[in-house]
Amino acid sequence: MSRKQTVTAAEIRSVKGRGFLHNKGTDAFSARVITGNGQLTAEQLAVIAEAATRFGNGTVAFTVRLTVEVPGIRFTDIDAFTEFIASAGLKPGGTGHRVRPIVACKGTTCNYGLSDTQGIATLIHERFYEAYYHVGLPHKFKIAIGGCPNNCVKPDLNDLGIISQLVPQYTPEDCRNCAKCAVVDTCAKMTGAASIQNDCISIDRSLCINCGRCVSKCAYRIFTDSQYRFRVFVGGKWGTRPRLGSPLGQLLDETEMLNVIEKAILLYRQQGLPEERFGDMIDRLGVEKSEELLLSDELLQQKDEILS
């Protein structure tokens, strides 16, 4: 394909919002194909491969946000490419000032996984990527969910990050004060939060990261009341001016976590300035004030007004 560029700036802008990014210095574009949660069927992979051969330059790339990128598509082939991949239930997108594609780790197929992150990512994709696709925001809004505190997908460096937790809960009276405690030994390899105090297991909550590794170790099963929860970070970003996400002060169940995502999007649309990242907005409003709004129902009550 010729390196001489003939496509106009107006044509480049006209398809960027649809998920087609111009290949600098050429007439070619790269299509970003959305996966929803990082998974594709064999049929979908075959369709993408065929589309790359038929409309692109025969190669396929994968982005850090779990989308598939097909480069080398001519401007005149964009509509045909879109129609072709739609046969496998696929669509381009993932660009612009809106909620971006959701990133999730491998979830419960990992030894450390505490939740079905890919299933939850699908819920988030449908509820906040698909349903909110028409909602313009001050800037891009990235969401990531990790299945444990190992943070493999860096949730706290996203505009909104979710980390699965397993909070150890136990009945002290059930502790047998074993001479060699498997819970203490397991935790010693992690944070050292567990210890024996006054002939009973004790967990220092200031050190515990809720990794859940200890819960299954007790032979007498004293951790049966342990709870699965989510820690949510807001305002994280990477780049030239990185910001670590601010953790909300309480752990959330799945319903509460999904509601906080919606409230964060509404808050960003309502209070964000043009081109201002979510984390910069939180710093401007104040972390405490932002958290207060995210944990109350005020924003949901104003939803119709904010989205109008």
- For residue 86, give the nearest of 33, 15, 12 by alpha carbon: 33
Give the pLDDT score at 203: 96
Give Cα separations from 217 to 4, 198, 212, 213 (angstroms). 64, 20, 10, 8
- For residue 267, give the nearest of 161, 126, 159 by alpha carbon: 159
Q: What's the CA gap between 246 and 155, in Å, rounded? A: 11
Structure confidence by residue, pLDDT tens digits, 114-135: 999 999 999 999 999 999 999 9
Quick one: pLDDT band at residue 5, thresholds 50, 70, 90?
confident
DSSP letter (8 states) at residue 155:
G
pLDDT > 60? residue 174: yes
pLDDT > 70? residue 2: no
The predicted model gives 158-168 an average pLDDT of 98
Percent of the chain whose pLDDT exceeds 90: 97
pLDDT > 60? residue 260: yes
Which is it for strands 227-234 and 246-247: parallel, antiparallel or unpaired? antiparallel
Structure confidence by residue, pLDDT tens digits, 14-62: 999 999 999 999 999 999 999 999 999 999 999 999 999 999 999 999 9
- Helix H or strand E encompassing 174: none
Sign of the Cα torsion 279, 285, 289, 295 reads negative
Structure confidence by residue, pLDDT tens digits, 186-197: 999 999 999 999
The length of the chain, given as a count of residues:
308
Quick one: pLDDT band at residue 3, thresholds 50, 70, 90?
low
Domain annotation for the chain: domains and CATH numbers: 9-86 (3.30.70.3340), 103-166+228-307 (3.30.413.10), 169-225 (3.30.70.20)
Q: What's the CA gap between 286 and 300, in Å, rounded? A: 20
Structure confidence by residue, pLDDT tens digits, 192-221: 999 999 999 999 999 999 999 999 999 999
DSSP letter (8 states) at residue 272:
P
Average pLDDT of the chain, as a whole number: 96
